Every structure is written in structure tokens, then in C-alpha cells.
Amino acid sequence: MGKVMLEVKDLKTKYVTRLREDVYAVDGVSLKIEEGKSLGVAGESGCGKSTLALSLMGYYFPPLHYMSGDIIVDGKNISGMKPDDVRKKVLGTEIAYIPQAAMNALNPTQKIIRFIEDVIHAHEPNMSKKDIYDLAKERFGILGLPAEVLEKHAVELSGGMKQRTVIAISTILSPKVLIADEPSSALDVTSQKMVIKMMRDLMEKGYIKSMIFITHELPLLYNVTDDIMVMYAGQIVEIGTAKEMVFDPLHPYTKGLMGSIIVPEEGVRGKKLAAIPGTPPNLKHPPKGCRFAERCKYATPTCRGMEIPNIETADGRVYRCLMSERKIRGVYENE
Ligand SMILES: Nc1ncnc2c1ncn2[C@@H]1O[C@H](COP(=O)(O)OP(=O)(O)O)[C@@H](O)[C@H]1O
Ligand SMILES: [Mg+2]
């Protein structure tokens, strides 16, 4: 086993709303990522993916609150750190975070090199502008971005170029963990591919030591990440290797997210056949028992009656469903 870069143990966080109705958006998440590995996080909108990202990088500003659990980056427990310490000691060097729609948040009137200076000066206040420029130019070159971009303003860049630039800026300090929230979702197919290639390059060249890639599209993660975790209503419902999750899902929700035509050699092809009927539950009052039961065509009264534990199979697959692995596979085969 490789060195563990990120370990999360039973993390629970919530939004405290003005009406004092708490939203339990991350409800007992545990995961582990080794050096050189990447984890995809998938699930429909509202399942808690972005909240998990915010929680991992210690972004606890109202209404988001930390409740319990551990976040350990390269052996150092950062849970419970003050936001100011997180900013000084964690962001950029330990964890880099690319928020959803980050490329649209770049100040349009500032040159790209100025953003890089800001990121570097937060940690290396004495580094000269010339050294920063040289570092940025080298990094951009290796990542396939033209050096001229450094002198441009965000408004002058296309969507795809802007997103790749944001990723290069955020990882300039070679963080141990990169968390990217829907980094390719708003882009056309060509730009999407370039963004994904860049994230893989960052890993291969060792500029980041591990990565979390968040998306609402599970099939996209095949070929992109080593492992995949599927979230539903703030909880993990299944976790496994990309191949297992895409081609041999166990949880009915994972199977539902895969509602596409699959060609093993090419990954995933074709249009979505059908969306899963219904919507995720309200997290202010999560249902008792299996949170997916209401939308699951295999659900029995037992599923609604008891808290469903994570089940680990003999070969290490983990899923949260009362159906046995054998029964699940039998059911899927007959569909
Ligand atoms: N600022 C907020 N205040 C209260 N509830 C929120 C806030 N942001 C998100 N939520 C709720 O938290 C849940 C998870 O949202 P989110 O993490 O954005 O999901 P995802 O990224 O998977 O779409 C949803 O029920 C959402 O309505
Ligand atoms: Mg989101």
C-alpha cells in the first residue's frame, strides 16, 4: 500500500439555516486516497458533493458548520483548525481547491500573472516577481499552456483556456491534494478533454500527489480516476475502482447513474437511456432507513425500517444496500 495522502474518518458537517432547520449535507463520510491516486465523486445535484469539498478544505463559514470527524492530510490532522490557520497553512500547499464555476470567478481586470503572484506570496512573501514569472512560465509550458496567457486578462481567454489557467494557478505550489469541483462540466467536449488531460498530467508529473474529481456524471470518471465514490443524500452509497463502479455496479443508485450504453473498449458511449425517476430527499428531514428506498424499484419494507450499514464483500467491495451481492448481480443480468 502506498503512503496515504488524504484520510477522512466519519466526517459530519451541516448547514444551519436561518429558520434553524439544519441541513445534514455531509453525513458520516469516510475515505482514503494514496499517493499518486485519484478519487472520483459522483452523484446527482444536491447529494452533498460540493459541501464535502468545502468541508475537506476547512471552509467553515456560516451557514456551514463542522460537527465531527477527522480530516488527515499526509499524516496531519487539519479538522477543527481555525479558518485563518487553514488559509495560511493548508490552502495551496496541502490542499488546493477549485470551486464549482471557478473560472467565472476570476477578476476580469487582473492579469493572470498577478493571480499567481498572490497565491505564491501568501506562502513565500519574499519571492521576487522575476522568479515567480519564471516558475509560472515553466509550469505553464509543461502543462501545454502558452506563456502569453500570463500577460492576459481573464476576459481575453476562452472558457476552456480559462479553466485550464485556473487549474494551473491553483496548483502552482504543488499541493498534496487537489479537489476539483465539476472542473469540466460547463465546457464543450474538446475543452473537457483538454481539462481532463491536464489533470492527469498534473498527477503524472508529480505536481499534485492525489486528486478528488467531483462530477454529477458518473460515466465521465471512467478513464479519469482510479477509484469512484458515489454519494446520495449526504452519504456514501458505494465505493470501488472505476472499472468496478462503471461496469459492475452493486448499489441500485450507482447502476441508475450509469444509465448509458457501455462499450468496454471505449468507456461509455451513447445517450442516457433514462434518468432515475424522482429526486433526492430533503436533507433537513432525511428519511429513516435507506435514503434511496423511495426511488428504488427493489426496495422492501425492511429497507425503510432500519439504518443501512456499509456492507463489505469478500473481495473488498463496499456498498450500502440490503440486497446481497449475488442477488443484485442476478437481478441486473435479467434486466
Ligand atoms: N448555503 C446553504 N445553506 C443551506 N443549505 C445548503 C447550502 N448550500 C447547499 N445546501 C444544501 O446542501 C445539500 C447539498 O448541496 P451540495 O453540496 O451543493 O450538493 P451537490 O454539490 O452534490 O450538488 C443540498 O440539499 C443543498 O440544498
Ligand atoms: Mg455541487
Identify the pLDDT of residue 245.
96
Once rounded to an integer, what is the mean pLDDT over residues 166-188?
96
How much is the pTM? 0.95
Protein residue with its CA nearest to atom 12 in ligand 1: 25
pLDDT digits (tens, 9 = 90+) for 13-67: 999 998 888 999 999 999 999 999 999 999 999 999 999 999 999 989 999 999 9
pLDDT in tens, 297-321: 999 999 999 989 899 998 889 999 9
Q: Whose CA is nearest to atom 24 of ligand 1?
A: 46
Q: Which atom of ligand 1 is nearest to the CA of 234?
A: 14
Give the pLDDT score at 268: 60
Mutate to test the pocket of ligand 1, among 17, 19, 50 (most ligand atoms within 8 A of CB): 50
Q: Say yes or no to pLDDT of 153 above 90.
A: yes
Model confidence at 264: pLDDT above 80: no
Q: Which ligand is nearest to the CA of 101?
A: 2
- Which ligand is closest in space to the CA of residue 52? 1
Q: Would you say the CB of residue 15 lies under 6 angstroms from ligand 1? A: yes
The 3-class secondary structure across the chain, one letter per residue, is: CCCEEEEEEEEEEEEECCCCCEEEEEEEEEEEEECCEEEEEECCCCCCHHHHHHHHCCCCCCCEEEEEEEEEECCEECCCCCHHHHHHHHECCCEEEECCCHHHHCCCCCEHHHHHHHHHHCCCCCCCHHHHHHHHHHHHHHCCCCHHHHHCEHHHCCHHHHHHHHHHHHCCCCCCEEEEECCCCCCCHHHHHHHHHHHHHHHHCCCCCEEEEEECCHHHHCCCCCEEEEEECCEEEEEEEHHHHHHCCCCHHHHHHCCEEEECCCEEEEEECCCCCCCCCCCCCCCCCCCCHHHCCCCCHHHHHCCCCCEECCCCCEECCCCCHHHHHHHHHCC
Closest atom, ligand 1, to C-alpha of 216: 22
